[in-house]
Amino acid sequence: MRVQSLLATTCGLFLLAAASPALAVNPRLQQVLPHGGQRGTESTLTLRGTGLEDAEELMLYDEGLEVVSLTVPEDGQRRGRELEIVVRIRPDCPLGSQRFRLRTATGLSNLLCYWVGTLPVIEEQEPNSDFREPQVLTPGVTVHGQITSEDVDYFAFDARQGERINVEVVGLRLGASAGNGGEYFDPYIAILDSNRFELEASDDTPLFWNDPIISFVPPADGRYVIQLRDVAYGGDQNAYYLMHVGRFPRPAAIFPLGGRPGDSLNITFLGDAAGVFEQPFVVPTDGRELALVEAADEFGVAPSAHPFRVSALESVNEQEPNNTREEATPAPAPGAWNGQLAEPGDVDLYRFTASKGQVLNIQVYARKLRSAADTVLTIYNASGAQLAENDDNREPDSALRFNVPEDGEYFAQIRDHLGGGGPAMTYRVEVTTVSPRLTATTVEPRQYVQPTLVVPQGGAIGVQLNIGRQDTGGPVALLPENLPDGVTVELPEDWRGDATVPVIVRAAEDAPMAGRWSTLGLRTGDPDQPDSLVHGLVSQQILLVRGQNNLRVWEERQDRLPIVVTKPAPFKVRLEPPKAPIVQGGSLPLKVVIERAEGFNDPVRVLLLQNAPGCSSANATEIAAGETEAVIPVNAAANAPMRMSHVAVRAISRNPNQRRGMRGGGGGGGERRAFGGSYEIASNWVPLRVEGPHLKFEFRQAVVKQGQETFVHVDVEKLRDFDGEADVTLVGLPANCEAEPLKFTSDQKELKFKVTAAADAPIGQTKNLLCQVNVPVNGEPVPCTLGAGRLRVDPAPQDAPVAAAEAPASDAPPPASRLDQLRQEQTAREAAQAGEAESP
């Protein structure tokens, strides 16, 4: 359903549903066992977690699985903790991850992944941690196993000389492992001979991130042993893996890495131990930018597909040699260029023509398409002068925007950052003119936690979106598709031009309890001018594995959001419209009212879904148990934009009866509901207008002495009229100083505050005098803070000192100083010595 405008009324109907609300327990999935299955078969899955007793539906994100049955165990030990689900895997099911969530009557679970492969799945058999006692298997199977702390698993197989054996491990890609302290399962494999000599080993691979692959040709007939462990000998209860072992192909790269929709291509597969091979491929026309290419030969199908870029650009493949400008491959611009850095030190040059004033976006796709190449892109002019260069542009691959300085020929050079080269170093360059782009992502209400759109019947849920506009601007329109029946999406008109916008998803009282993967489309431009339209989608990055230092190790991107309607919440929330605006530098109380269902008396926390620009509010205000009202103070900065913004509140009631799931499992603790098991709903919208102040105050200098009085004069400039009298209080006075509040009208030109300083008022200058003003608007006081003044406190005046009486005159000479005494003594000695010399 389409919702772009606000509801007709801000309050709306405020009735609780007659149905008794159930205990709100948001389900938490910890494991799916097994973690994968073979396409074309049926598989029984065991889901483990908490809050599963009211399970209703397995919501499948990807196409390829069908749910045959969902069973809730009745015994007390398993009920609420386990589910049994039978799924049918279609023969044409895409290889790789099948993502799903569990919908219950009261909530929605975190995301888990189920991996679909081509081989039958067997279970690891313990004990198999001794090289001398490995689990024996026949190639052509997938082993489902687990690595606990310091565990090493050994598997033996027999092979003939020259018979290719490929091994691929899916560990990190299951998204199931994230232990304490940010440790996660990082698998390592090696192939050993019967004497325990290592023949091949693999840790990380460019194609599959932290998951290893080995393409192995036995040097002789005999028994070989696969060693599988964590690279650091870690592991835990969530360190599961799927290990594919067989004669299937396992190339490391493909060429080309992209093509036009509908084109028929020959894909070359590179890096397999059996050599290079080709197969035909028709580029899909389903409108997606990414396709998957499966490698197949007479021995089977590779367990995981290769990513392939789909775009409408004219493509060319590099023609060797093209290491110099004279040999550069002619290339279209705009266009797409496919190449390979085939050997160490290889560089590829492309020659293209461009016109002065053109602006070209040049984007390399290598790591994004799981190539081993770490590209550097350099642009030269016809004479060989370097004009631009980029390494990775804060992304895995090179990209730059080239402003063409003049008409003529130019050269683009591609090389590896470290001068590397090899079969797996393929790449694709796409050159386009600047085109607008529109994106949006949901804002995490708590770091590493994406919001879940769980909407109770008759209620609503709020979410924020970050809007990305590249080479475009203007307001956005939301175009939701495939919403559950009775659900609408609201984006207020006055927010549509912002970078972050609040959105409310609302369910009618009679909306059926159901869930759908919904698309929230975006659009900018004028619908009456189709050429001006730019479209985009709201997406989520679901964090499944988080490493040390909060490194985002494994995420799943989704362009459809799960929206679920559940049983009613036991309360409703209403935000009362303010009767007056908030002014710059002022504050405004917003009143929140909740209506409780009978028997529900838990505390409820309320906070604004999104503050108006330039405004702030408390992170959470609590409505105490049994209470029904609270006030959220909103403050506007002095430079807050003057505009209208519709605001709403989130209301959260924590459910103390929620059974908490253990950390780890699918999602690694990364997607836990923000407030544990809780009800969360959103209110109605109310208009909040930020206006400029009615007045401008200018303080004059003021001085007061301890124990005395003075007047602080404030010049008043009226900016807007107001009715009645305003109240004003002088604040920020020094300690032990007082001033009486005043009243004044809009025509008053001056305020005189009588300030009294106590005898012990601290001496010095205060620079923080302010006026707190309440201006009456529509019968409501509009508070604001105005002016900035100074007050100096001087010491109290001292009494004049009494002059001392003059001493009577005396004829006696003043006493000799010590120096005079010494001189007199010296004179006497000299006289005595002279007398002795004159004696006969």
> How many degrees, rounded to 5, is the angle at CA 466 between CA 461 and CA 467?
120
- Element of type H or E holding 443: none
Q: 484 and 577 share a domain?
A: yes
- Using the 3D structure, point to which of 105, 140, 170 is the last residue of a domain: 105
Mean pLDDT of 720-735: 95
Give the tens place of pLDDT for each residue, 162-210.
999 999 999 999 999 876 566 899 999 999 999 999 999 999 999 999 9
Single-letter residue type at 765? Q
- Using the 3D structure, point to which of 402, 437, 472 is the last residue of a domain: 437
What is the distance of C-alpha 71 from the center of its chain?
36
- Using the 3D structure, point to which of 105, 137, 159 is the last residue of a domain: 105
Mean pLDDT of 507-515: 98
pLDDT bracket for residue 823 (50, 70, 90):
confident
Q: What is the CATH number of the domain that holds 367?
A: 2.60.120.380
- Residue 810 in any domain: the answer is no
Q: 428 and 476 share a domain?
A: no
- Residue 808 in any domain: the answer is no
Torsion sign (Cα): 172, 176, 177, 178: positive
pLDDT at residue number 253: 98
Single-letter residue type at 150? E
Residue whose structure tokens are 């207008």: 689
What is the distance of C-alpha 125 from the center of its chain?
40
pLDDT at residue number 49: 95
Q: 211 and 268 share a domain?
A: no
pLDDT bracket for residue 25 (50, 70, 90):
low
The lowest-confidence range among 224-238, 566-580, 644-658, 700-714 is: 644-658
Q: How far apart are CA 380 and CA 393, in angstroms?
A: 19
Question: Distances in Å between the alpha carbon of 142 and those of 243, 301, 302?
Answer: 5, 13, 12
pLDDT at residue number 154: 99
pLDDT bracket for residue 551 (50, 70, 90):
confident
- Residue 671 in any domain: the answer is yes
pLDDT at residue number 571: 95
The answer to whether 49 touches 104, Cβ cutoff 8 Å, is no
Write the DSSP assignment of 494-533 as a string of letters. Answer: GGTTSSEEEEEEEE-TT--S-EEEEEEEEEES-TT-GGG-
- Residue 238 in any domain: the answer is yes
Residue 830: pLDDT above 70? yes
Residue 808: pLDDT above 70? no
pLDDT at residue number 802: 58
Q: 347 and 281 share a domain?
A: yes
Nearest CA to 253 out of 179, 300, 305, 218 is that of: 305
Q: Which two tokens stand for residue 466?
A: 């970050």
pLDDT at residue number 344: 98
Q: 516 and 479 share a domain?
A: yes
Question: Distances in Å between the alpha carbon of 591 and those of 23, 614, 626, 629, 758?
Answer: 28, 20, 17, 7, 40
pLDDT bracket for residue 805 (50, 70, 90):
low
The answer to whether 818 touches 825, Cβ cutoff 8 Å, is no
Q: 268 and 397 share a domain?
A: yes
Task: Give me the torsion for CA of 182, 185, 187, 188, rounded to 10°.
Answer: 50
User: pLDDT higher for 805 or 769?
Assistant: 769
User: pLDDT higher for 232 or 654?
Assistant: 232
> How many degrees, rounded to 5, is the angle at CA 34 between CA 247 and CA 674?
130
- Element of type H or E holding 110: none
Residue 419: pLDDT above 80? yes
Give the tens place of pLDDT for each residue, 52-62.
999 999 999 99
Nearest CA to 711 out of 723, 698, 702, 724 is that of: 702
Give the tens place of pLDDT for each residue, 465-478.
999 999 999 999 99
Residue 2: pLDDT above 60? no
Residue 667: pLDDT above 80? no
List the domain range (segments joined by +) for residue 308: 253-437
Q: 271 and 378 share a domain?
A: yes
Mean pLDDT of 379-383: 98
- Residue 136 in any domain: the answer is yes
Q: 561 and 523 share a domain?
A: yes
- Residue 812 in any domain: the answer is no
Q: 420 and 481 share a domain?
A: no
Residue 306: pLDDT above 50? yes
Strand, coil or helix: what is 836? helix
pLDDT at residue number 820: 74
Q: 314 and 279 share a domain?
A: yes
Q: How many CB atoms lie within 10 A of CB 517?
A: 17
Q: What is the CATH number of the domain that holds 550?
A: 2.60.40.10
Q: Which two tokens stand for residue 673?
A: 């509901």
pLDDT bracket for residue 670 (50, 70, 90):
very low
pLDDT at residue number 449: 87
pLDDT bracket for residue 800 (50, 70, 90):
low
pLDDT bracket for residue 809 (50, 70, 90):
low
Strand, coil or helix: what is 532? helix
User: pLDDT higher for 41 or 395?
Assistant: 41
The answer to whether 299 touches 281, Cβ cutoff 8 Å, is no
Q: 398 and 468 share a domain?
A: no
Residue 358: pLDDT above 80? yes
Q: 432 and 493 share a domain?
A: no
Predicted structure pTM score: 0.86
The lowest-confidence range among 84-98, 344-358, 667-681 is: 667-681
pLDDT at residue number 265: 97
pLDDT bracket for residue 834 (50, 70, 90):
low
The lowest-confidence range among 35-44, 255-264, 574-583, 793-802 is: 793-802
Q: Where are the beta strands (DSSP E) in 508-551?
A: 515-524, 534-546
Q: How far apart are CA 470 and CA 205, in angstroms?
A: 33
State the total domains in the chain.
5
pLDDT at residue number 26: 78
Per the prediction, the chain carries an average pLDDT of 91
The answer to whether 124 touches 135, Cβ cutoff 8 Å, is yes
Strand, coil or helix: what is 368? helix
Question: Distances in Å between the alpha carbon of 278 and those of 254, 265, 309?
Answer: 9, 10, 18
Nearest CA to 537 out of 565, 516, 557 is that of: 557
* % the chain with pLDDT above 90: 84
Q: How many residues does the chain have?
A: 840
pLDDT at residue number 655: 61
Residue 380: pLDDT above 60? yes
pLDDT bracket for residue 803 (50, 70, 90):
low
First to last CA, the chain: 144
pLDDT at residue number 79: 92
Give the tens place of pLDDT for each residue, 314-345.
999 999 999 999 999 999 999 999 999 999 99
Considering only the C-alpha atoms of the chain, give the largest distance between any 2 of them, rounded to a whole number of Å. Answer: 152
* % the chain with pLDDT above 70: 90
Q: How far apart are CA 30 and CA 237, in angstroms?
A: 11
Residue 575: pLDDT above 70? yes
The answer to whether 153 touches 146, Cβ cutoff 8 Å, is no
- Residue 576 in any domain: the answer is yes
Sort 92 into a burial class: Cβ within 10 Å, 0-12 / 13-18 / 19+: exposed
- Residue 800 in any domain: the answer is no
Nearest CA to 468 out of 498, 494, 490 is that of: 498
Q: Which two tokens stand for residue 657?
A: 């009866």
Give the tens place of pLDDT for each residue, 117-151.
999 999 999 999 999 999 999 999 999 999 999 99
- Element of type H or E holding 298: none
